[in-house]
Structure 1
Amino acid sequence: MVNRKRSMCSSGWLQKHFKDQYVKAAHRQKLRSRSWFKLDAINRMDALFSTGMTVIDLGSAPGGWTLYVKNKIGRTGRIVACDILSMCNISGVNFLQGDCSNPNIFKILCTWLGQKQVNVVLSDMSPNTTGISIIDVSRSIYLGNLALNICRSVLMRRGTFLVKVFQGKGLDKYLCDVHSLFNIVRIRKPDASRSHSREVYIVAKERK
């Protein structure tokens, strides 16, 4: 399964993209991506991070979420980021380039974590979109399940999971699977998430 950000081949999409208030704000603030604002809005509502945490960031490129988390967990915190795309170095962050569905990549990720208990698993993974909703939603749910399986393996008791998924067929079943692993499950649609986008963010807290 390919995990890449939305294709930028459409000139019409590019024009809308660069007129976007969050794209402009990200440029002014020298952030790596507009997704920084999505995570900031969710964190303000759900208080995901604190100093000293260990965090996994899946689908991390170009690093917007990773930088946000780094500032929240401080120098005593630990971040392991993973993406099939390359990502420019961030001081204090372990970045693993590869497909986290690959057992060898997951093994390396676990080796990097060592004995550290993971407090938060983040997934902003997104499939290559086709414009065909049933295909795009199915691919998104696949990536969501991949992230949920990683939670089952490494996330500590009472830990937190934040994942992006697309609304559509299969989401209700996925939400049930998330509920089976966590006591608190909420759906968020931050303002920085484009209104026409199918994406929503599931915040799951207190792993059982």
Structure 2
Amino acid sequence: MSTKIDLYDKKYYINREMSWLEFNQRCLDEANNSDNPLLERVKFLAICYNNLNEFLMIRMPGLLSKTPSLAQSAPDYINNDKIIGMVSERMNKLYSDYEVCWKSLRKLLAKEKIRIKRIDELTDEQLECVRKFYKERVHMMLTPLALDISHPFPFISNNSVNVAFRLRGEENGVVYARVKVPDTLDRFVRVTAGKSKLEYVLLEDVIKDSAHLLFPGMTILGAY
């Protein structure tokens, strides 16, 4: 005798937002899988990070708006307050695990002579080249925008990389500014020539290093 299954029973369903995040966990698992080729692991990690950003842009605004859902009768429905808490906790864990994985992959890449360096790891010659690159290719493309009560909050476009600066002026105390990283330039700036060694710095780190040229007469308290 067959048993009738209630297809509206919540135990058979996973909430849509949580399901989306669990897919990213699977991507992260593949990035951590040492059986995969190294560059494939990097690609999986990039997919995970890109999907998390997409989630924040597309799904989170709807949850935070607290607009009454048309699907409250759906078996996977969870009220907004509860799902926001669940999503926030899950995303914090994913981002934390992402950082751990990326740190591990960077070490493996370095063994293959592919390094993504910090500014303070550059040789004097490399640093000179980076600063020359900034002056010749980057500086004229940057537009700092103030973040204070006398200015409207600047528009931040989707999928853009931005640097936030904390500054101190001689007259107006601590102020904040935002600089968009140009998307017309490669985000990874190569600091070596030839094929025997591949070393890069991030474009946003290049901008942070030369922030004094963007904000003359001000003290750079922090860049994030």
Shorter chain as normaliser: what TM range?
under 0.3
- Normalised by the length of structure 2, the TM-score is 0.22
Indicate the structure (1 or 2) with the bigger Cα radius of gyration.
2
- Normalised by the length of structure 1, the TM-score is 0.23
Structure holding more strand per residue = 1
Structure holding more helix per residue = 2
